[in-house]
Structure 1
Amino acid sequence: MAFTSPSTSTSCPAAPTPPPPLSAQSVIIVGSGLAGLAAASQLVAHKVPVHMLDRAPKPGGNSIKASSGINGVPTRFQPLKDDTPGLFFNDTINSAGGVLLLRSSSDQVLLREQLIRTLTSSAGSAVNWLVDENGIDLSRVVQLGGHSRPRTHRGAGEKPPGVAIVSTLLGLLEKNPLFKLQTDATVTKVLREDEEVLGVEYTCEGDSSTTATKTEEKLHGPVIFASGGFAGDAHGLLAKYRPDLAGVPTTNQAREGSQPLLTDIGAGLLDMESVQVHPTGFIDPKDPAAQVKFLAAEALRGEGAIMLLENGTRFVNELETRKNVTDAIMRSAATTTPENTRQWPVNLVLDEGAAEAASSHLGFYTWKGLVRKTTVSELGTSALQTIQDYADIVSGRKTDEYHRTSFGSWTLTDVRPDSVMYVGQVTPVVHFTMGGVTINERSEVLDMDMKQIRGLWAAGEVAGGVHGQNRLGGSSLLECVVFGRIAGDQAAKFYQEHYATRLDDL
């Protein structure tokens, strides 16, 4: 089944509107993905008005496409009760790589560690907030690559977690009179005076009956940036910081990164060269050279899927970190370059048990023609032996030479030529940017001297330092909730202390 974005509250007006009076000032949120929605939810809970801007025609950002889940520990849904924030912290540190030790000042290392500690220590409360206060089902838990315990949550129904979370929060906000959303609104400048951010300028894309028009607008108030990363900025920031990724397909639509808007007013940057290449983006048989690809959710591998080379053999522990799995694919698979798109095709294979557990994903993937139902015989004799070996590993008859220990919902034990398989062809894809503007554990944007820029916060993929050189699956939605809520709380406090005083002086 296909999923669509929820409808927006308002689009930009076609003609200029007069500036609002000072009494109408709001906290401005740039971006309508999960980080922005989490911040907005906190702000309206504090009775603070919100004006959200998004340059896309529909809200939700990349968050609405998230398909694997959100990490949480400890929660009542986890099948194992031996997980702790400390274990999650250690897994995240191990995934983050040498950036915590090398090529960084001691201040940057300490900052990253504090951001990671904030992320992991808040994971349980983030999931509880979504479930208990917003009514979102996150009762299904799996173990993804790089994690030592099952802790990635999603719903048991048919909606992928990104759709479920974003649509629920947006629906609740749209009922609140303190919340206003404008789409087709592109921020062009951040207004900073006397060491404080005072608002933004933005271009409003309107549409009249005869012609499209653009209007220049200004908003005044504290600002939260939740505008996402730059993985789709192939000819801009991505080309500047990672030219080696030219030609590698992406899961992101072409869109400029927004970090330059913040560096223009003095914001620092952290880890901009740290770009995550996800190991599995689907190669569409109808358009194999497409530069933008659908992500093959890591949850598929979490539920038991394996990856096979063209010769039918396995080559990696499919639940290693994304970086390690990607490196193994690029090292082991043959490189192809259809229409100058650099690809490393491998087969992603699920049995009926794994497919059933991941049915909310498989329904969409098969509808799109990205996954096909077939039999082992179609994959060849070598694949039959490989799949039988894996089935023996799952059932405990063999140990895995690649040291995989979690097998999700795989149920096939005796493999025959007519055994049913679900197969899709995948390749590594540029997916996520770990780098961005520098923030602290209070989501405050810092300048190049690591000092706070007053009146400005950032949360989500626009910020850097939270993941180091490699992000664990399930931590992008978590980052959005944790730091989005922090930004909302901090901006609410700032607004009540500073803007209420200004209003009283009128």
Structure 2
Amino acid sequence: MSTCTLHPPPIQPTPQSHVLVIGSGLAGLSAATNLTSQNIPVILLDRAPKPGGNSIKASSGINGSPTRFQPGPDGEFYNDTVKSAGVVFSGSTLKERELRESLIATVTRGSKDAVDWLVDEVGVDLSQVAQLGGHSFPRTHRGGKSGKPPGASIVGALLEGLDGSSLFELRTNCCVTRVLKEAEEIVGVEYVAGDEKHILRGPVVFASGGFAGDVRGMVSEYRPDLAGLPSTNEARGGSQSLLEGVGAKLVDMDQIQVHPTGFLDGKDESATVKFLAAEALRGEGGILLLGDGKRFVNEMETREHVTDVITGSATTVEGELRQWDVTLLLDEGAAAALDSHMQFYLWKGLMRKTTMGDLGQAVTDTVQGYADVVSGRKKDEFGRAAFGNWMLSEVQPESVAYVGKVTPVLHFTMGGVIFNSHSQVLDGQGEPIPGLWAAGEVTGGLHGQNRLAGSSLLECAVFGRIAGNEAAAFYQQHYLFGSNA
């Protein structure tokens, strides 16, 4: 389902062939970077007015294991990802499971190289490591506490590198309306820019993202039960149907992730698009409280689990949107570990600095109980075992706290086109469609019923680079030396 408006002017072909990358988030930029490094000309199309996609907003980090920055051994990344994928993975047929296993193996085993590439070649600081929900060990990387959030840092660095290449061209406000196929091979795209329709020829890498913001369209089609929830995404449809039109098979389209913590802005609680309260806020020690001031969940469980407990335990917020009344609370230690995040949230008015005395006795008693857990004086009734940088031990009326209201929000779509470990898009028979690759949220089959925090940026880097390499080899064979040149 395309949200682009079609226009009648005639198609204007362009004579030169490039590799065409659709989408300017981390997956698209990773593919373009690997292509230009091999002297392959790239045109990158994005329907938004500015590049970066949802990747530029990513705030918790990128997973990697093992890396130079991890504090200890970690042999569980693959198993944590399988566990997170849940019944969608375990209930698959043998053939489907083999494909899912190969995707999970590719992304987890490729995580070290992805982090090394971003640090050593792209120049991004990823020296801080945290443990987030659903992870057995700390493995989610971001920069130092005073730097930019990881998504903005990574996207900015990649864009800067590509801007210096004569082989790279970025075109924004361009909406792809058709994928061109000739003799079973993908040979280009048709797109609309302003009032004109254009054609570009060349092999195609789709990195156009998901559809979690298309609440009235694709979300309603595949998950009508989620209607009425706010989203962290703008209201744009996905590209999956365009690819389905050229033979691509879709999978897991009903698997839509609801993130447990999007900020309820007191200035506009009815806003349908919310700022994400990064999972790192809980990973560094933050806790969730009901309206009565009590904790109710292990904040380090998977997003799916925390969301389910919120919607089953918290009171709802009045209004047309489906929202719940939950408070996110951090102490000074947790807040200091996320300084750049906190400065933004405080500036936007999404969080506020206060004291325990102002929050009341019920919250004070809850926080003291949690502080006793962190300090080892008692076990957590909810089973939490990782506490990040929480430092508060003895709660006093003057003890500083940072609080904000949060609610579950539509965040990520696990479904999309079926692809393989070479980033090739597969048809209904499981065969690669020549000239077509995909990476990032437009794909399906990797995450199953739940995506681990930090694995979105990771899959974009891993499969974006693979798609770039595969498309480069195809271009060199078919366009430089083949009949399509």
Partner of 2:139: 151
Quote the Cα distance in structure 1 between the aligned partners of 2:100 and 2:357.
49
Quote the Cα distance in structure 2 between the aligned partners of 1:470 and 1:337.
28
The 1:172–1:16 alpha-carbon spacing in structure 2 relative to 1, beyond 3 Å, is farther
Verify the 8 A CA contact 2:232 2:274 in the aligned structure 1: yes
For residue 184 of structure 1, the aligned residue among 150, 173, 182 is 173
Q: Describe the SS at the equivalent of 2:395.
A: coil
Matches within 5 A, 1:357-372: 357-372=337-352
For residue 467 of structure 2, the aligned residue among 474, 487, 493 is 487
Partner of 1:196: 185
For residue 427 of structure 2, the aligned residue among 429, 436, 447 is 447
Partner of 1:288: 269
Q: CA deviation at 1:337?
A: 3.6
- Structure 2 unaligned residues grouped into runs of 5+: 1-8
Q: CA deviation at 1:16?
A: 9.1
Quote the Cα distance in structure 1 between the aligned partners of 2:416 and 2:361.
47
Please tell me the residue identity of whatever aligns with 1:354: A
Quote the Cα distance in structure 2 between the aligned partners of 1:435 and 1:26.
28
TM-score normalised by length of structure 2: 0.96
Matches within 5 A, 1:29-44: 29-44=21-36
RMSD of Structure 2 on Structure 1 (CA): 1.3
Quote the Cα distance in structure 2 between the aligned partners of 1:431 and 1:323.
11
Q: CA deviation at 1:449?
A: 1.5
Question: Does residue 329 of structure 1 match 2:310?
Answer: yes
Q: CA deviation at 1:19?
A: 3.5
Q: Describe the SS at the equivalent of 2:215.
A: coil
The 1:16–1:131 alpha-carbon spacing in structure 2 relative to 1, beyond 3 Å, is farther
Question: Does residue 88 of structure 1 match 2:69?
Answer: no
Quote the Cα distance in structure 2 between the aligned partners of 1:501 and 1:465.
34
Please tell me the residue identity of whatever aligns with 2:408: P
Quote the Cα distance in structure 1 between the aligned partners of 2:276 and 2:302.
16
Please tell me the residue identity of whatever aligns with 1:61: G
Quote the Cα distance in structure 2 between the aligned partners of 1:259 and 1:362.
36
Partner of 1:11: none
Quote the Cα distance in structure 2 between the aligned partners of 1:278 and 1:379.
26
Verify the 8 A CA contact 2:11 2:197 in the aligned structure 1: no
Partner of 1:499: 479
Quote the Cα distance in structure 2 between the aligned partners of 1:345 and 1:406.
25
Question: Does residue 51 of structure 1 match 2:43?
Answer: yes
Question: Does residue 320 of structure 1 match 2:301?
Answer: yes
Residue deviations 1:368-416 (CA, integer Å, cap 9, x gap):
0000001112222111111001111111111101111111011100001
Quote the Cα distance in structure 2 between the aligned partners of 1:371 and 1:57.
29
Please tell me the residue identity of whatever aligns with 2:427: D
Aligned residues: 476
Q: CA deviation at 1:313?
A: 0.4
Q: Describe the SS at the equivalent of 1:460.
A: coil
Quote the Cα distance in structure 2 between the aligned partners of 1:93 and 1:33.
25
Question: Does residue 417 of structure 1 match 2:397?
Answer: yes
TM-score normalised by length of structure 1: 0.92
Q: CA deviation at 1:336?
A: 2.4
For residue 112 of structure 1, the aligned residue among 100, 114, 120 is 100
Quote the Cα distance in structure 1 between the aligned partners of 2:348 and 2:187.
46
Matches within 5 A, 1:92-171: 92-102=81-91, 104-156=92-144, 157-171=146-160
Q: CA deviation at 1:17?
A: 9.8
Partner of 1:12: none
Q: CA deviation at 1:107?
A: 1.6
Q: CA deviation at 1:109?
A: 1.5
Question: Does residue 472 of structure 1 match 2:452?
Answer: yes
Matches within 5 A, 1:289-308: 289-308=270-289
Quote the Cα distance in structure 2 between the aligned partners of 1:480 and 1:16.
35
Please tell me the residue identity of whatever aligns with 1:458: A
Q: Describe the SS at the equivalent of 1:307.
A: strand
Question: Does residue 395 of structure 1 match 2:389?
Answer: no
Quote the Cα distance in structure 1 between the aligned partners of 2:242 and 2:314.
40
Question: Does residue 174 of structure 1 match 2:166?
Answer: no
Please tell me the residue identity of whatever aligns with 1:37: L
Residue deviations 1:113-163 (CA, integer Å, cap 9, x gap):
110111101001100000011111000110000000000000103200000
Partner of 1:19: 13
Q: Which moved further from structure 2: 40-49 or 474-483?
A: 40-49
Quote the Cα distance in structure 2 between the aligned partners of 1:429 and 1:378.
28
Q: Describe the SS at the equivalent of 2:44.
A: strand
Q: CA deviation at 1:438?
A: 0.5
The 1:183–1:16 alpha-carbon spacing in structure 2 relative to 1, beyond 3 Å, is farther
Quote the Cα distance in structure 1 between the aligned partners of 2:444 and 2:187.
23
Please tell me the residue identity of whatever aligns with 1:55: R
Q: Describe the SS at the equivalent of 1:170.
A: helix
Please tell me the residue identity of whatever aligns with 1:108: E
Q: CA deviation at 1:18?
A: 5.7
- Structure 1 unaligned residues grouped into runs of 5+: 1-14, 206-213
The 1:268–1:173 alpha-carbon spacing in structure 2 relative to 1, beyond 3 Å, is same
Q: Which moved further from structure 2: 373-382 or 71-80?
A: 373-382
Quote the Cα distance in structure 2 between the aligned partners of 1:239 and 1:337.
22
